[in-house]
Copies of this chain bind each other. A is one copy, B any other.
Amino acid sequence: MNQLDATFTALADPTRRAIIARLATGDATVNELALPFDMTLPGISKHLKVLERCGLISRTRRAQFRPCHLERPALDAAADWIEEARRVWAERFDQLDQHLRDIQREGASE
């Protein structure tokens, strides 16, 4: 599974998206993350492992509470991919728009 596959798979779950949204506001421990979701710690830990594997979050190895930290580069890579598809799409409509204007101008000058 490549990096983008793993990142989009990680984003395809509402609990994992909520964890990411929470971590965007600041680092948090597993206990802090488990609170709002009414989930067991093993349940949250499973989601965190998915997020950690694809590089969306990191966890300090040595700290006692191992706070989770959102990693922007993985989020950026997913955003960049979508952005590129949207750029290509927009470019096409710009070209179509230009083409229609060229036709209109040709029609007007005849």
Interface residues of A (CB under 8 A from B): 2, 4-9, 11-14, 17, 20-21, 24-26, 70, 72, 75-76, 78-79, 81-86, 88-89, 92
Contacts and interface: CB of A to CB of B under 8 A. Distances in A.
B5 A13 contact: yes
B5 A88 contact: no
A69 to B, nearest CB: 11
Contacts of A85: 20-21, 24, 70, 75
Contacts of A5: 12-14
A13 B12 CA distance: 12
Nearest to A76: B86
A37 B6 CA distance: 21
28 contacts: A4-B14, A4-B17, A5-B12, A5-B14, A6-B12, A8-B9, A8-B11, A9-B9, A11-B78, A11-B81, A17-B81, A20-B85, A21-B84, A21-B85, A21-B88, A24-B88, A24-B89, A24-B92, A25-B88, A26-B92, A70-B85, A75-B85, A75-B86, A78-B82, A79-B79, A79-B82, A79-B83, A79-B86
